[in-house]
Amino acid sequence: MQLETAWLTQFLQQERLPASYGALIRSVYEPLAAQLAARAQVRPLTVGLCGAQGSGKSTLAAVLAALLRHQGLPTAVLSIDDLYLTHDQRQQLGNAVHPLLRTRGVPGTHDIELGLKTLAALQKAGPVALPAFDKSIDDRKPRALWTVFSGPASVVILEGWCVGAKPQSAAALTRPINALERDEDGAGIWRHYVNAALAQDYGQLFGRLDLQVMLQAPSFDVVYAWRLEQEHKLRARLQQMGGDQARVMDDAAVARFIAHYERITRHLLDEMPARADILLQLDAARQVQHTRGL
C-alpha cells in the first residue's frame, strides 16, 4: 500500500491533522493498514482498538478506515462510547445497584446487546444504522441522526478505552485503588459489578474480535495529563467561540472523573501489552516509540 501524496495531504487537511502526522501515517499506520487489508482479503475482519483516554485511538481509527477504504475495502468504525446506555437507563441502574453507575464510562454502562446486534448486522448486505451518543447531553442521539453504513463491511474497527479488557481476580478487587473507590465504594459493590460485567456480557462482545491492537500509554499519570489537556483545550475553544462553558470540568472534576477509569486502565497497561496482536508503545507526547506485530 503506497499512498499518493495528494491523497494524504487532502486527508490531513480534512481531519485537521498537522503535516508532521503524515510521517507517522507512512511509517506506522500505513503498514498496519496493509496488514489488516491482507487479512480482510481472506475473510471479513473485526479489529479491537484499545487505548486510554487521550491516546489518539479515535484518530487512529479514522486513519485506518480511510486507508482501508482507499484500497476499496468497506470499513466501519464503531466506538464503544456510542454504545452507552441512555441517561435514564443509567439513572435506573444507579438507583438499583450503585450510584457510581449513573456516570457513563465503565463496563456495565454500555448496551452490549446493541453492540452485538450492530456487529452482526455489519456482516450482512444492506444498510446498518451505527449507534451514536452525544456526550454534550449525556444521552444517546435519536436514531434518525445515526450514520448509516452500507454493508457488508470488509473491516469493522471497534475502538474504545476498554476494548478487549479482561476482568480482574476477586483478590485484586479487595483494596480500593483510589479515593473514589475508598470514599464512594467502600463495600466494593460498584467495582465488583463492573468486574462481573467484564467477565460476562463484555466477554461476549470482545469475543467477536479477530485482532487486538493496543495504543500503550506510558503510565496512568500520563493518561490523566492527557485528559486534563483535552479539557483545557475544550475550555479555550469555547472561550474563543463564545460557547457555553458550563459543562467544562475544572481540574478537580477531571481528577474525579478519570478515577472511574483508573482501575481498569492500570490493569490494561499491566496485562494487555503481552497479549495484544499489535502493540504501539507511545511516549508522553503520543509519539510511537516502538511497535510489535507489524
pLDDT given at position 246: 65
243 DSSP β-pair partners: none
This prediction's pTM: 0.93
pLDDT given at position 153: 98
At 107-120, the pLDDT tens digits run 999 999 999 999 99
- Any idea which fold 5-283 has? Rossmann fold (3.40.50)
pLDDT band at 8 (very low <50, low <70, confident <90, very high): confident
pLDDT band at 14 (very low <50, low <70, confident <90, very high): confident
pLDDT given at position 280: 98
Specify whether the CB–CB gap between 167 and 80 falls below 8 A.
no
At 184-215, the pLDDT tens digits run 999 999 999 999 999 999 999 999 999 999 99
Mean pLDDT of the region 263-281: 98
At 27-56, the pLDDT tens digits run 999 999 999 999 999 999 999 999 999 899
DSSP 84: B
At 216-262, the pLDDT tens digits run 999 999 999 988 887 777 667 767 776 666 666 788 888 898 999 99
pLDDT given at position 152: 98
Phi, psi torsion values for 197, nearest 5 degrees: -65, -40
211-216/278-282 β-pairing: parallel
pLDDT given at position 243: 65
Specify whether the CB–CB gap between 108 and 98 falls below 8 A.
no
Neighbouring C-beta atoms of residue 143, cutoff 10 Å? 9
Rg of the chain on CA atoms, in Å: 19
Using DSSP, state whether 180 is helix, strand or coil: helix
pLDDT band at 135 (very low <50, low <70, confident <90, very high): confident
pLDDT band at 10 (very low <50, low <70, confident <90, very high): confident
Domain range list for the chain? 5-283
Using DSSP, state whether 160 is helix, strand or coil: strand
pLDDT given at position 247: 67
